[in-house]
Every structure is written in structure tokens, then in C-alpha cells.
Structure 1
Amino acid sequence: MKENNKILQLIYVAWRERWSDSQWGINIKKVLPRGVSGDVYNLADCLLQQAVIGSTANLLVLNYLKHSLCAHLISHAAVLRCIAKYDKLERIYCVTALLEFLAPLIDGVTCRCKSEQGSLPTAVVQLVLWLFQIFGRTVQHYELYGVISAEQSYMLDQVCVVIDRLSKHQFLLAILYVGCHEELESYSKIREKYATIKGSLANSNFTPSLPTTEQQLQQLAYIDAKHLELQPLNDLQGEPISYCVQPLLAVEVLLNPGKDTSYYVAELQMLQRLKRYSNTRLFYEIIRAGFLTLSNVADTSHDTMWGAFMFFKVPHIIKQLHTLQRVPGDQPPPADHIPEVVEALNMLIEDNLLLDFMDTKCSCNIMEFLLNDWTKQYLVNDEQVKKLASQREPSSQLLKKYESGQQTPSNINFIKRAEVPLSGILKTLCTNKVQEALVSVLCQVLVGNSFELILSVATVEGRLKTFVSRLIQCNENSKQVPGEVGKLSVIRSTLFDVSFLMLTSIVQTYGSDVVLSERGDSFFEKWVRECMVERNKLKNPKRILALCDESIVDELLLSLSKPEAAAAQLSNNSNLTWQDICLNLPGVLHHVLIAWEKETLSSADVKSILDNIKRRLFSFSVCATSFLCAYMYSVSETELLKPLNMIQQFLAPPTSEDMSSQENVKERLALSFQIIRKMQQDVHPSPNTKSRCVASTHQGLISQTPLIEQFRDVWRTVVADVGYLPVRAVQTLESLLLAGGPAWLATQLVEELLRCKYMRDMTKITDIVFAVMHLDIERTTEALLQYVVAPLILKRQGDDINEPQSLLLARLCVYCIISCLETRSAVSGAALKKRSRSHDEDDLSNTAKVRKVIGEGSDNSSDFTEGSVGVSTLMGNNNTGNADIRTAPLTLKEPLQSSIEHIFRVFLQFVSGDELLPKTTFVYQFISLLVECGEERVVSVLRLLPPNLMQNLLKVMATDDIRVGLISRLYELRVHSGRQLAVSDLCLWRNIQLNRHSIHL
């Protein structure tokens, strides 16, 4: 107490001698007692106690307090904390004086040293609680007595003024936001006090002097990050149409056609948050994307796939999206329709060109055709269907006149009819008996495009694995029984053959790891694992040959070499089963190839052997072709001619005698030819086949055209379609990803983005590139950050990324990171797993051939060294292992975490100096977009930020672009270290702002 009196005496002397503000602090510090620092809390406490010691405030002492603040003797935090400690609220004049002192003080609150930063959040929280207590006490008095005195009314007006200034002061709001995580008990009292105030205001009909006071009280009581200013960089208000939904769905439906509805819903919800779409806009984009894709998939299996997706999957996606977006407590939607769907369809009806094309393609009023089915899903009702169809009626009438009844209907017209046959086939396959009726049903499926239709519907409805498992069981039941003769044996052989061919075709279309179980022990599953050549899973021919039994191979060679003995040896009386022949044919063909090379066998002899192989079962031709394709992949180009000729012999049409000797030959033959051609094309594309995506349905890993030319060809197609990504373009881009690796593909995509000159084109290309990255979102994102963006930033100063390309590149990076996180958090690791993109360890490496294709004819002007190294590295690190992310949502895992840490370290290099470069702006844009778009979902990414990155950025970027909303969202405020970093950055931001706006005389 003596110390406080001494300080007061010194202050009084200073006032009497009229020291200026500049002399105040110097002289006071000279005469302060030893051990009393200039920022002591007891100095502020002493002054306030002396100021309000009586019934009225001592304005002279309050002036002393103000001078002490100006002289930096005490901190704002100490003053605010001491004011908040004043609990004699019944002394209206003292409280009013403190409020009048506080009102102008609000605008200058800051921290000048590290020691002040720790106490400022606590002081602000306590001050807000003090203001709420004053306000609540006065309102409760009015509630009880119906009137308040003039002094109380004036005091309340001053409270409203302070609250108004506080709620408009972004720095103090940010400090309060940090403090509410520090002072949990005090902030809980603030919310309780607000609830009391709200009830009193409602009961008494009391109106504060400022109309916004009640709203400001709520803002302070429930302070949130959304109340803090953030410079928006993800401004998409001017985007008339989306260039992202259709490409994203095109990629996902191609890669994951059998995924359940929740998978697509998670992807679309992620996109909805990034693009800030309403439900109406999102539903419109989904339906439009389906029609756009269907308009360009004629005469392919994807015609039926996308048709099934539109009719069977999209209604469930829309319903689930609508359910997830509902806010609890809202009025329930109508039972017979979803209003947002109707609004979306009204938007779509204006796109006359697209709908006219679809009407022509489908030979019907596509809107009416689609919506008649959606009425059963309760998306629209009958009245709305009639209204929407009537708007399309004039165009439909013109279409009917134009067609003159001779146009072939599209597959889309038959998609709905395929659902009933699928259920019937599944029911028929449940039988464990070898029946002639089952053979008839399966062979009938192969007529026309029925097989494709049924597969598409089964895939979209999630019944593909059921269909496959029952076909496998059917194949197992129909394996040859030694000694069996007669009609039953013929039925069994046909059933084995047709089920084997159907299963092989399904595996070719979807991939074995999609439709087959990992440890299946059936004959067909073992054959696929050991012997079948798949598009992205080539087999080692030596391993296939190691499975052969030499005694069986010798027996087969003997019988196949003699046409007259072939029928007898391969007859039903033979001890060799069809399963044995399938597994041992590679040994036969290997001996034939060696003998043909040594000219021990003539071409006529080889033809005779091959004819004998395919004479009995068409499955034998498929098994033989699979080995020949694996063999072709392992030999030099000079040794390809003979195995190619052997495959062509399997594709030769059979004689009329062979056609008449078996039942249902035509259907099985056509399917076997289709399988063999696809195997050959995947491994050894025809030299005269163009690499353009419009020329071939599937692109192989090996092509004589350099990858860069293939990419430019397909990209020209995409650009020509103005943001539309055809299915064949997606297939080609997938092949380029497999061949060149994620770093190579990401490099080409970013170059296309940076090559754009106009903002509209840049926005469009950014969306398409983002969708294409979903061919393998995790690996391409890793490559984008580590092998594309980081080297681009590390280039010399003259090669800076300029606006607006830097903003869109930052947006692309952030979108991809968020997509990785959201995809992991939305579905389990098993559901997330895409088709395998890596070969087995024993499979032959295609590194030399890939290097040859990339190296020849490539004129890539900006070849990144890190990117070229990353191709081989990343191709090997495919499967990172997917844990069940439901237990750990939004967890960042390797190798993406290392890539983000690397890019942050690169960022730190460019914000450590004093020079503002375009690359520094890119760093700010990257961090700002990460916070703006990701919100709380990117916490795991923000934890990786270097502690001093934002402080260095604040010092370099002395602009108004960085706001407190950005700084407050960067750190984890639930931990003490996060709060310390946030307050430190906020105080630095505040002092920079004060310095910039101060008046220098």
C-alpha cells in the first residue's frame, strides 16, 4: 500500500509540473521504487481504486490512468482487467464514468510486448462479462419496476455505446474469440447472463437506445469465427454454369460404377461446399451432367452404364442429399415431391439445345420419359410431370415428324426393361443343379446388347457382386465330371463355357479386384489370379508356365497334333477335365512356339493345333490368348509376329461343321471374339490405330505415340467441347496416368491451366483439372504439391506465377487437399479403395517401355526434374493402406502429409525476407483459400504450418488483405500453444495496422 501511495504522489507531482506525454513515462520510471516495473498490474489497480473510491468518480485520477497508458507504464490488458473487477455496480456515477472512460479507449486497444499478450484474452472476456452484468442489472430493474431513473438510462446508453464499439472492433472480437477458449467458466457465465437478458427484454418489452444492441449482445455471447472478417478469395458468384460436376461424375462413374449411393453423395457434398451451391443448383448440375454425358456415349457399353446411372442411381443420390441438408426443426417437405428438384428441372427445361439432342437420340420426350419413373421415387408428382412435359411437347412433335418412324431406338429406352430380367437371372442362378433351362437363360442374355444392359443395371443397383458370385458358383457346379456322358455332359460343358466367358468379360470390364473376392478359392478365381491378363495387371509368363503339369502338357500335345485323335482325347471319356486343359494350355502353346521358331512345326501344323484347341470350348481360346498376350509383353518386337498370328487364328470364323456340332455357338463365339480382341488391344494396340480418344474405346499402356502427343490430342477434344469431358477422354486420361505417373499428368494439367489468358477459360480449366485429378486424387494431389507447385515456386525470380493464374493454381491445390480429406472422412477405407493401379511384385516391369514412349518425340518445354523422378517413385507407392476413418475423421495421412509439410517449408523461404514477390502472394492465397474453403475440416493440415510463417507473411504483406478472420482460424484454439500463437499474430497485425494508419508529424 505504501508503494501505491508513493506512485500516486509521483503522478500528482507530474500533473502539477505539467509534464508532457513524452516526458511522463521517462520521469516516472526514473523515480519509481526498485522492483516496480513499468507494466505492473498494481499500478492500474491502484489508479482505478483511487478513481472510484467514493460515490462518484475522480476524473483527475482517470486522467492519470490515461496518461499512464500513453506513457506505456501500464498495458491495455491491465486496465481492462481492472475495470472488469469493479463490482460495486450500484454506484451508478462511478460505473458511468468508467464506461465513458472505456468508450474511446476501445479503438486503441493493443499489446506492446509479449508479457501483455497472455493476459489480453482473459481481460477482454472479463470485460464483456462486466458489461453484460451492468446491462442485465438495469434491464431486470426495469422488468421489476417498469421504470428506470435518468441516471440508469444514461448508464445503459453508455453500455450500449461500448458494446457497439466492441462488436465492430475486429481485433477485440478476435481476442474475445480466443479468450472464450481460455476462460471457459467466465464465458459460460456470459451465455447464462445473455439468456437472462433475453428473457427480461422479452418480458418487459424494453427497447435499448441502439436498435442493434440485442443482436450485438448475441454476437458477443456466441462469438464464432464467422463474425470475424475474412477476405474472400473463393468468389464464385459470377459462375453461370459449372464445369466441374459433369467431369467429376464422368471420372467417378468410370472408376467406381459399383459404389453405393453414399460414395457419390460424399463427393457431391464436398463439391457443394467448395462451390457453395444450393440444393436446387446442385440437383440441376447433376441432372444436366447426366444428360451431357449420355449425349456422347452411343454405341459403347457406357451408354447403358450412364443410362442406368441416371435412372437408378441419381434419384437415390438426390434423395439422400436432400435428407442430409435438412435442418432439424424445419417444416417437413411435401410427401409427393421435393421442391428443389422441381426448381432444378425448371432450370433444365430452359436448355433447349441439350434436351432437343437427347430427344433425338432417345426417340422420345426425354423429360417425360425420365420423370415418369421419378414419380415412383416421389421426387416429382404427376401434375408437375405433365407441366414439364407439356413445355417440351412442341419440340417432341417436331421430332416425331422428323423421324418418320424409322430411327433405331437408343439403348436408354431398354434400360428400365433390364431390371426385371436381372432379377429373374439372379433367381435362376440360385439353383445348384445343371439344367438345360439355365443354359438357355444365360445364352439368351448374350443376344444383342442384353448382357451390357443387365450388367449396367446390376452395377448401378449394387447387385454386380451378387451376379458374379452366382455365376462363379454356376461355373463351379458345371465343372467336368470324369466319366459323365450323354446330354447332361453336353449341358454341363455349355454351361461351363458360357459362365466362364461371361465372368471373363465382367472381369475385363470392371477389374478383378472390384468384382472378385481377394481369397476366392473357386477354379475361375484362381485362374484369374494366376493366368488371366488384365488391362492393368499383366502376368509373368514364366509363372503361368510353372503351374503346368508336364504330363498333362505332353498328353495334350500328342492329342492336339493329330486331328483324328483330338476329338477322342478331348471327348467326355478323357481323364483330362476342362479345368485341367485351361490351366495347361499355356505349356502346350509354349512348346508350339518354340517348335515353330525352330521350324520343327510348319505353319499348317500350328494352324491345325490351334483349330483343335478352339473346336471344343471357346473358353480354351480365351485361356490360350491370355498366355500369348503375357508372352508378347515379355519378348522383343521382332518376336511378336508368331504369337500375333496365333491370336488371329483364334479370331478366324469357325467352319459350318463346327457351328452345327454345338448348341448356342453364335452367342458364345461372339463373346469369345470380343474378349480376345480386347486382350490383344490392351497389350498390343494396332499400329494404325490413332491415339485420339475419339478413335478407340480403350487406350493401352503401350502405344507407339508419345504420351505428350496423346495428352494434347485428348485435351484438344476436351477444350473443343467447352468444358465437357467425354467418357472416352476420361479413359484416355486414365491410361496416361497409368503410363506416365501422377507427377507427369499433374505437370501437363497445370501447364494447360497456366497457358490460359482469359479468366473465364482459367476458371473452366481449373474445374476440369480438379475433376481429372480424381482419377487418383491422393497420388495426384501429392504429386501436384511436391513435384509441380514446389519446383514452380523454387524457380528463379523471373519466372514468377502472376495473377490471376496464381489464384487459380492455389484454388486447385486447396480443392484437391480438401477432397482428399473429405473423401477419407466420408466413407470407410474399403469403400474408398479405387481400382488397383500397381502391378504385382512378380509382374513384369514396363519401366523401359514407358521411358521410351515418354522420351521419344516429347517437346515438353517445362519438364520438372522433381516430376520426372517422381514418376517412378510414385508409381510404386500406390497402396497406402486405408484405415477405418470413421474413428479418425479428417486425419491427414502419408504420403500426402509429407507433401504438405514440404510445400509449407518452401513457402517459408519466400516470406522470410522483406521483398513482396508474386510468389509471396501465392503463399497468402494458398493459406487463405485453405482456411476459407476448408473451415474446421482442414485442422489437420493447418497443424503443419510453421509457427512463424504467418508472422513473416504479415511483415511482408503490409496490406489490408490479411484480416483477423484468417489469423483466428489458422490455429487450434483448444490448446494453449495454439492460443498463444493466435494472440501473438493478432497483436502483430494490430500494431501493423495502427502504424500504417497513424499520423506522422
Structure 2
Amino acid sequence: MKDTGMELQKTTSKTSLLNLMVLKAWRERWSDSQWGINIKTVLPRGVSGDVYNLADCILQQAVIGSNANPLVLSYLKHSLCAHLVSHAAVLKRISKYEHFSKVYCVTSLLEFLQSVISGVTCRSKPEEVMLPGSVVSLVYWLMQIFATCTEQFAVGGKLSPEHQVLIDNTTEVIENIISNDFLMGILYIGKQEDPDFFGKIREKYSDIKSSLISSGYKPNNTSIEKKLHRLAYVDVVQLHISRIESEQVEPISYCVQPLLAVEVLLNPSSDTQFYVSELLMIQRLKNYSMVRLFYEIIRAGFISLSNVIETSHDTMWGAFTFFKVPLIIKQLNALSHHKTNEVDHIPEVVEALDILLEDTLILDFMDTKCSCNMIEYLLNDWKKQQLVNDVHIKRFSSLREPISTLLQKREVANQAPSIINFIIRAEVPLSGVLKTLSADYNKVQEALLGVLCQVLVGNSFDLILSVATVEGRLKTFVSRLIQCNETSKQVPGEVGKTSVTRSTLFDVSFLMLTFIVQKYGSDVVLSENGDSFFEKWVRECMVERNKPKSPRNMVALCDENKVDELLLSLSKPEAQLKNSNLTWQDICMNIPGVLYQVLVAWENETLSSTDVKGILDSIKCRLFSFSVCAASFLCAYMQTVREDEFLKPLNMVQQFLSTLSPEEMSSQDNTKERLGLSFQIIRKMQHDIHPSGNPKMRSLTVTQNLVSHTPLIEQFKDVWRSVSQHGWVPVKAAQILESLLQAGGPVWFVTQLVEEILKCKYTKDMMKTMDIVFAVMHLDIERNTVAILERIVPLILFNKSGSEDITESQSFILARLCVYCIISNLETRTAPLKKRSRSEDIDETDLGNAAKIRKLTNPESSDNSSSSDFAMETHQSSKEPPSIIRDPLQSSLQGMFKVFAQFVATDELSPRVYFIFQFISLLVECGKDRVKPVLKLLPNNLVQNLLKVMVTDEITVGLICRIYDLRINTGRQSAVSDLCLWRNINLRKLSIQL
């Protein structure tokens, strides 16, 4: 036997040659009596290539009697070491042994398992296919042994020495399996492969647990029941993963406020679910508790609110903080599955406010700015939402009252009226306007005119729009204004006061609608195929930013007879336009034809400058909506002419911006408000097609001008310097960054952002900058993600000139940014950002007013059931990973993975390879099941090649099992193959150490 063993140890050829040598040794050196078995029944003459049958035959002979044959088991162990038989075949064959009454045979098999279990592995594809099922069968077999022993104890009240040895050996084998990461990974894969059979293991475990309780049996190893439970309920969370992303919660967040600043800028009218989805994504990425998330949301609102400027677009943040944030918090709380008996407040909100009170700097600033105790001011409104109750308001207010009073006294001399007061008070006028607009038009014309004109006084219109936007009532407001405009169209033959009131209502509603479309975009506030006069005019004649209109088409739509009639009446001052047969809506649609003829005549010197001015004055002195229609055509015309033809239409637009004489101002009711609004609209149109360097003009637009004498890179550096100094994104900075993205494109924009990260010297600063950059990239997350994957990463990492410059910490931060962006695309983006998110408004008809809006999340309201259903649906959808990835993200990922495959195909360990490992690890750690569609795109053998190159303990069983989709056969096969390679590499390392 010794000589044969030496021959086998020297054998390094294929399995068939090993088989030949073993057969020869068996037949030539030993007789049947030496082994005590019939060799012919074990191995028939000839060469058998089926190693599984070989293992089966040997084990059959090993346990053929009442006791196991140690020589045969020794030979089987030797065959395993020589790779003549596979571990999968041996484990499978052992699990088939059901003669548990033969205690000594079972004990021998358990002892044999103890000696080989730590070396279980695979060497070929057939073995890999069989291994998960073999391990699952073995676990079930061990459960059966344990169950047999407990049943014997239940019957006799004690265990025989033989059964005690049996249960001790079983316990030792179970412990060896649990301590072996490889076997636990294979067991988990086997669970996915045959869930029905694995259900038998759980049933057997339940029987064992019940038997232990009923019989009172206490094993020597008191933790065996927990170990059995771990085997029966093996899960991926039990598989160790070497995390490269810290599980510790960062003390200061730098991404919540910038993210909200960007989203409120781009998507002010988005519904609550849009913000909830993004905030839940942040919570998962950052491991925030619900208390911490609530605190960050409230703090972000206060920080941005401190940046609000009077009468500007930034008032949106005040409305967001007071009206949208409570709804977001209630929705998040509904999704948290946190059961509480409290009905008048949310405990997590109270805890968040306790943390906020420690941030005295922001609270002191807000108290000074708003001339009030900001906490008390805010909580009085939140009480209606049942976020806090009277007890909390009293406690928090009292804590801030001394400081707040002192601050207000110090600033009393220089205090200006707080914009916050106006924002809060704007909710009531909005409800009043909507109520008046929904009333019978014929009965409320005078009252409606007074309400609409009052809205235009001061900055009330901006504030009301801000509140309507964040409360989801903007589209309702617009639809009712359109209805008012339709009803106010001129009725032929109507005269007197009724006609004057109707014309003023037509004018003011037209101007208000045009202002709203300019501010939010026609795609957001208008129906796609609306058939009202105003909607048709917008589609055909209104010039919009980033939506050029053809002046030729405008002229072609005009009626020649109406153009001639209108031109005649405008050319003769004595011919009053109001005596014309043309209606107001006809004039709006035919003004382009008139102005085109005027321009041609002026160019040909048929008309003088004085004649042109007279015609323009005749237009301006009537309805101010005519001036807006004229300016829209002229601005569109200026976009199509040469530079030397630009001046005349520009001067014509300027004429509409000239002031009226006192007589003209007094000739119509509410002239001042309507004229002022028309000036704003015309200036905005002019600025969109011919940006000005005048700082006053910049405040008229949402973003900074795209055309500037300052290079884009210098503009970016200026604004980023402001962001770095603040540690958050001011509202104006978000607007400028959005303009720079539009001007420079995503590749240029993301390049500048990534360079700001790489400039940082310390990891802490890089992490801070990366969080801000991640938030800013949500200005257009899809295009920016494609840019960083397709252009930035290859340029920085995989270019020869730059590959040596990046450090390990920089590589990690860059991988982290890429992963964050991919996850954001998967979780929150299903359509183009602006168009989708801006159009999701709640119908006011269904909600009624602000009180009804708040009832959506009120647990005592009658609509609570629908709210809960929505919350559950949202939570479930957030758990389910998306089934597909859309282009261009999918193409970008596939291209990057191809580059990955090239660099891990070599044996060179470089920073590039480590970046690939970091990227895959972070995808798994941060994205979990949500990134399964991304991981499916990984090329075949990428992970195997990565294992061969890195040879590191950082690639663990848990990581490999999380990479693949184990619900499908190909995923399981790939996982087993990688695990076996991982196992063999580790065994080789262990053998070298020995």
C-alpha cells in the first residue's frame, strides 16, 4: 500500500492516467482477503472515467457491514487528495446513506467528514455544477442525524454513549461548515438552486427545535441550536464582505442641501414622491437614521432659506420649507414602517428638532433675518400637520425665546420686512384667487378683476406662484386662468362697462399666463394639445428660451385681410382700434403680419421712423397683451437676421418698454400693474435672445446669461469658490451652475467638477467635495453620469499620461462618485428629468384647498386609506430593482466594462486594477439588489481575472455571491466557478505558508 501511495503522489497526469494506475495497483498488489472486500465489484476490468461512480462504489464497500472499513475510507481520502474523485461526488454519496441505526458506520462517516471538510473544493466544471446540491444534501443529512439522536433521547430520556459520540461528531462537522466561508457560500447558492429541497431542511430544523423543547434535552454545545438555525436560514447577509465603504455615519452632511437646492431649482412643482425617492436614496447611501434624515431636511431648508433674496425667484425656497417639507416628512414617516401610538406628533421629528436646537448659528441667523422666533413660527404651522403638538411648541419656543428676543432687539434699527411673513401669508390669497376663478364668470367679473389686479401689486404674484408650485396647485391655477381668458374673449357688439371689464380681464389673464409660461416653461404648465386661444398662441407665436420659433411661420398663419385692416387702423390715429371689427384674439394672432410689413416698409424707407413709432404707440396704448405679442414676434425675428439687420427690430422692442404719459396711464383701469407685468415679460423675451451684461437684467431670468465676456472656466471657478467657502450651494450658485452646464455641455462641466475633487490634498476634503459634486450633477444626472463613465474615467485612469498621477484615495473617491451617480440614475430617473418632474402637479379639483392637501398624510382624515396604499406602493417600488437599464447609460456601462476586462486580462497589478475592484465593491455595498441590472453587464470572467491579478483577501465569498444574480442558472454557475477559484487560491496560499 505504501508503494502504491508513493506512485499516486508522484502522478501529475490526467484523471484517466490516475485511474489506470489505481486499477493496476488494486489488481496486482493486493488480494481480496487483504482488503476484506470484493475488488471486482468495486472496479470492473477496464478503465472507468466516471469518477462519481468510483466514489459511489468505494463508499458502498466502506459501509457494507455493521462497521465501516477504515482502509477503504483511507483510500477514499487518498483519492480525494489525488483528485481521482471529487469532493462533490463524495459529499453527495455520503448524504445518501440512510442507515442511521448503524451508529458506528455513521460515526465513521462523520469522522471522515471532519478530516476532509476543511479541504473541500472543485477542480473542474462538472464538479462545480454538482457541488451546491451536494452541500445542501449533506446539511440535510446532518440534520437527519441530529433529529434521530433527539428522538432517541425523547424516547429513552437519555442518550447512549454511542449516540452521544454521534451527536458530538455531528456538531463538530456543523461547526466546521459554518466556519468555512466557502461552504456557506456554496450552501447559499444551493438554496437558490433548489428552494423546495431547502424547505425540507427548514422543516427538519423546526422538528429538531420542537423536539429539544419538548424533551428538555440540552446538548453539550449549547449554541448548536443557533448553528442549526444559521444553516437552515442561510442568507447573503451572513456571508462576510470586506467593506471598503465606511459603515460609520458621517458627522456632517454635505450632500442633502446641495441636492435639494438643485432639485428645487429644476423641479419646483414636482410632487412629494419625487423628493421622497431622492432622499431615501441618500439615506441608504449614507446610512442615516430617520431622525438624522429629518434633521438634514429641516437644516437644508433653513440654510437655503437664509439665502432667500427679496422679490426674486428664490422665494420658492420659503414656500418649499414651510409647505413642501412637512409633506415630505410625513411621507417618509409613512414609509418607515415605524409603529407608534402617538397620533398628534412624530417622535423622530421631535428628536430631529432637538438636534437642530444645537445648531445655534443657523437658528440665530434665521431669527435675525425673519424678525421672529423661527422655531416657534415654523412649528405653529407644523402643528396643523401633526408633526408636533402644543407641548413641543411650548418647549422649543421657550428654549429659543431669550436668544431670539435679544437678537431682534439688536437689529431693530435696521430690520427690513421679512419675506417669510409674506410667504406664509400667500397661502390664503392663493386659495382666494382659486376660489374666485372657479366661480360663475358672469356673476363675479368685477370681483375677479379686482382680485387678479391685486395679485399683481408688489411681489404678491411671485409669492403666490411659489406657494402654488410647491403645493402642487400650479397647473390648477393655470387651467383656471386659461378658462378665464377664454371666457373673456371679445364678444362682437358688446359695449359699455361690461366690454371694458371683459377686455381688462382678457388682458390681465393673458399677461399672467405668459409670465407663468416664461417662468416654468410651456411643457410644465400647459397641456400638450390644449385647444384654447392662449395655448394655441403659445405653441405658434410665443418665443421661449431654448424653443426657437420661426417668424416666417408666424406670418404665414396670419389672415391677409385682417392684417390689412389692422395695419390701416393702426396707421391712422383718428381711426380708433376699438372701432375695428377685429376681436382682441384676432389682433394677437395677426400682429406678426402687421409688424413684418412695417419692418419691410421701414427697410425700404417707405415708412419713416416717426410712422413706425406711431404704429407701435397705437399698439401699446391699447391692451398690453398686444405689446407682448408684438415683442414675441420681433424677438423671434431677431434670431434669424444678420447683425446689420438687428438694430431696427431691437429698437421696436425698446419702444414697447417706454413709459406711458400720465394721460395714457389714467385712460385704463389698473394700468400700472398690467404695464409693469408686460415690461417684465418683454424684458425676459429680449434677454433670452440677446443676453445683456447688465446685472439688473440677470435677476429677470432663472439662470445667468449663456453669453458672457468672461470665459466659462473663470465663471465656474468664481461660483465654485463661493460653494467651497459656504460648504453648501447657495441658490444663485445653483442657477449659475445650471447655466454653465447648458453652455459648456456635460463633459466639460463634469471635468471641472472632478478636477475640484482631485485638487483636494486630504481625504476628508475630497469626501466633502465629492458629496457636493454628486448633488450638483443632478442638474442633469443622466447626461452627467454618461459623461463621467464614457469620458472622464477613461481619461483619468486608463490614459498612459494620467494613470500614474492618481493616488489610491483619489481612485476610491472617483469610484465612489461613479457608483453614487449610477445608483441615482437607477433609483430616481425613469424619464428625462425636467420634463417629467416639472409636470407632476396635483389637481386642485381633487384637493380643494391647502387643508385638503394636508389631509393626504393626516392619519385621521377620510382619505387616509388611499394615502397608506400610496405609501406602501412607493415603499415596495423602492425595494424592487429596475428590470432594465436604458440607453445611453447602458451603453456607457458596457463600454467601461470592456475597458475593465482588458486591464484585468494581464497579470499586472496596477492602480487601474484596484480602481476596478473598488468600483465593483462599491456597487455591491452601496447599491445592493438595486444594482443587479448593472452587475449583469459585467463581462464573463472579469471577476475571475480580477481574482487572479489581485490575489487579495479583500475579495470575499460575500462579495462574489452578491455580484451575481443567483435566481438564474448562469448566475449560479458563474458564482460557483468564481468561488472555487477563490477557494483554490486560498488553499494554495495556505499550503505555501505551511
Give the conservation status (yes or no) of the 8 Å contact 2:796–2:802: no
Q: CA deviation at 1:911?
A: 0.8
Matched, 1:805 2:806: no
2:944 aligned to which of 931, 951, 958: 951
Q: CA deviation at 1:199?
A: 2.4
Matched, 1:418 2:426: yes
Instruction: Write the letter of the residue equivalent to 1:499.
Output: S
Matched residue SS, 1:770: helix
Aligned to 2:399: 391
Aligned to 1:964: 957
Sort the Cα spacing of 1:645 and 1:933 in 2 relative to 1 into closer, same or farther, 3 A: same
Q: Distance in 1 between matches of 2:910 and 2:624?
A: 68
- Greater shift after overlay, 83-92 or 782-791? 782-791
Give the conservation status (yes or no) of the 8 Å contact 1:432–1:474: no
Aligned to 2:548: 538
Q: CA deviation at 1:696?
A: 7.4
Aligned to 1:709: 714
Give the conservation status (yes or no) of the 8 Å contact 1:432–1:477: no
Any stretches of 5+ residues in structure 2 without a counterpart? Answer: 24-43, 840-876
Matched residue SS, 1:799: coil
- Greater shift after overlay, 757-766 or 147-156? 147-156
Aligned to 1:491: 501
1:588 aligned to which of 594, 602, 616: 594
Q: CA deviation at 1:597?
A: 3.4
Matched, 1:135 2:126: no
Sort the Cα spacing of 1:266 and 1:639 in 2 relative to 1 into closer, same or farther, 3 A: same
Aligned to 2:633: 627
2:794 aligned to which of 765, 790, 795: 790
Q: Distance in 1 between matches of 2:696 and 2:574?
A: 44
Matched, 1:748 2:752: yes
Aligned to 2:976: 983
Sort the Cα spacing of 1:343 and 1:31 in 2 relative to 1 into closer, same or farther, 3 A: closer
Instruction: Write the letter of the residue equivalent to 2:633.
Output: F
Q: CA deviation at 1:31?
A: 4.8
Q: TM-score, normalised by structure 1?
A: 0.89
Q: CA deviation at 1:170?
A: 0.9
Aligned to 1:440: 450
Sort the Cα spacing of 1:885 and 1:402 in 2 relative to 1 into closer, same or farther, 3 A: closer
Matched residue SS, 1:375: helix
Instruction: Write the letter of the residue equivalent to 2:120.
Output: V
Aligned to 1:871: none
Sort the Cα spacing of 1:703 and 1:632 in 2 relative to 1 into closer, same or farther, 3 A: farther
Matched residue SS, 2:808: coil
1:355-374 matches, within 5 Å, as: 355-374=363-382
- Greater shift after overlay, 208-217 or 372-381? 208-217
Q: CA deviation at 1:137?
A: 2.4
Q: CA deviation at 1:195?
A: 1.9
Q: CA deviation at 1:605?
A: 2.8
Q: Distance in 2 between matches of 1:297 and 1:439?
A: 31
Q: TM-score, normalised by structure 2?
A: 0.89
Matched residue SS, 2:741: helix
Q: CA deviation at 1:52?
A: 2.5
Q: Distance in 1 between matches of 2:730 and 2:480?
A: 33
Instruction: Write the letter of the residue equivalent to 1:61.
Output: V
Aligned to 2:741: 737
1:771 aligned to which of 758, 775, 779: 775
Aligned to 1:861: none
Matched, 1:942 2:945: no
Sort the Cα spacing of 1:491 and 1:389 in 2 relative to 1 into closer, same or farther, 3 A: same
Instruction: Write the letter of the residue equivalent to 2:430.
Output: L
Sort the Cα spacing of 1:114 and 1:697 in 2 relative to 1 into closer, same or farther, 3 A: closer
Q: Distance in 2 between matches of 1:696 and 1:621?
A: 20
Give the conservation status (yes or no) of the 8 Å contact 2:620–2:656: yes
- Structure 1 residues 60-112: Cα deviation after superposition (integer angstroms, max 9, x where no partner): 32222221111211111122112211111222222222222212322211112
1:818 aligned to which of 803, 820, 823: 823
Give the conservation status (yes or no) of the 8 Å contact 2:88–2:127: yes
Instruction: Write the letter of the residue equivalent to 2:409.
Output: K
Sort the Cα spacing of 1:988 and 1:624 in 2 relative to 1 into closer, same or farther, 3 A: same
Give the conservation status (yes or no) of the 8 Å contact 2:299–2:356: yes
Q: CA deviation at 1:657?
A: 0.4
Matched, 1:430 2:438: yes
Aligned to 1:29: 20
Aligned to 2:275: 264
Q: CA deviation at 1:286?
A: 0.6
Q: CA deviation at 1:18?
A: 6.3
Q: Distance in 2 between matches of 1:95 and 1:964?
A: 31
1:290 aligned to which of 301, 325, 330: 301
Q: CA deviation at 1:446?
A: 1.1
Sort the Cα spacing of 1:694 and 1:457 in 2 relative to 1 into closer, same or farther, 3 A: closer
Sort the Cα spacing of 1:367 and 1:39 in 2 relative to 1 into closer, same or farther, 3 A: farther
RMSD: 2.5
Give the conservation status (yes or no) of the 8 Å contact 2:798–2:912: no
- Structure 1 residues 806-830: Cα deviation after superposition (integer angstroms, max 9, x where no partner): 11111111111111111247xx899
Matched, 1:667 2:678: no
Matched, 1:239 2:250: yes
Matched, 1:315 2:321: no
2:212 aligned to which of 201, 206, 219: 201
1:908-919 matches, within 5 Å, as: 908-919=901-912
- Structure 1 residues 165-194: Cα deviation after superposition (integer angstroms, max 9, x where no partner): 211211111111111122233211111112
Any stretches of 5+ residues in structure 1 without a counterpart? Answer: 1-13, 837-883
Aligned to 1:503: 513
Give the conservation status (yes or no) of the 8 Å contact 2:18–2:84: no
Give the conservation status (yes or no) of the 8 Å contact 1:683–1:701: no
- Greater shift after overlay, 525-534 or 211-220? 211-220
Matched, 1:615 2:608: no
Q: CA deviation at 1:950?
A: 1.0
Q: Distance in 1 between matches of 2:797 and 2:48?
A: 47
Q: Distance in 1 between matches of 2:989 and 2:681?
A: 73
Q: Distance in 2 between matches of 1:382 and 1:769?
A: 40
Instruction: Write the letter of the residue equivalent to 1:40.
Output: V
Q: Distance in 1 between matches of 2:344 and 2:234?
A: 40
Aligned to 1:863: none
Instruction: Write the letter of the residue equivalent to 1:404.
Output: V
Matched residue SS, 1:781: helix
Give the conservation status (yes or no) of the 8 Å contact 2:19–2:48: no
Aligned to 1:850: none
Matched, 1:125 2:136: yes
Q: CA deviation at 1:197?
A: 2.1
Aligned to 2:854: none
Aligned to 1:459: 469
Q: CA deviation at 1:394?
A: 2.3
Sort the Cα spacing of 1:933 and 1:333 in 2 relative to 1 into closer, same or farther, 3 A: farther
Give the conservation status (yes or no) of the 8 Å contact 1:684–1:700: no
Matched residue SS, 2:368: helix
Percent identity of equivalent pairs: 64
Give the conservation status (yes or no) of the 8 Å contact 2:267–2:834: no
1:154-169 matches, within 5 Å, as: 154-169=165-180
Matched residue SS, 1:741: helix
Matched residue SS, 2:621: helix
Q: CA deviation at 1:256?
A: 1.5
Aligned to 2:342: 334
Matched, 1:93 2:104: yes
Sort the Cα spacing of 1:752 and 1:887 in 2 relative to 1 into closer, same or farther, 3 A: closer
Aligned to 1:351: 359
